[in-house]
Amino acid sequence: MVGICLAGCRKEVVVALLILSVCAGSCNFTGIFTTYQDLCPTFCSTFNGFVGMLTSVTGMAGPALTGLMINDAVWLCVCVCESYCCF
């Protein structure tokens, strides 16, 4: 993403860098699902469900806790409302 900022207004370079970043991210996801298959082949879908639930809870709790740590009332409302909109 730093490369995209440095690319400026060159659309071809920005598009190429975005395509490369998406491809790199998809390699990460295949590795995660292969690891689930290796750890527990019988209960792979159950394990994936628990991990997905855990990441969703932390994804909702993060903005809420950030909003509580910020002393400004406007940002507190924004962070807490954003975290509960996902729920």
* pLDDT tens profile 59-69: 878 777 777 77
At 69, list the tokens: 């740590």
Q: Which of 33, 76, 83, 29 is nearest to 58 (CA)?
A: 83
Statement: residue 17 has pLDDT above 70: yes
Confidence at 81, pLDDT banded by 50, 70, 90: low
* pLDDT tens profile 18-76: 888 888 877 777 777 778 788 888 888 888 888 889 888 888 787 777 777 776 666 66
Distance of CA 39 to the CA centre of its chain: 23
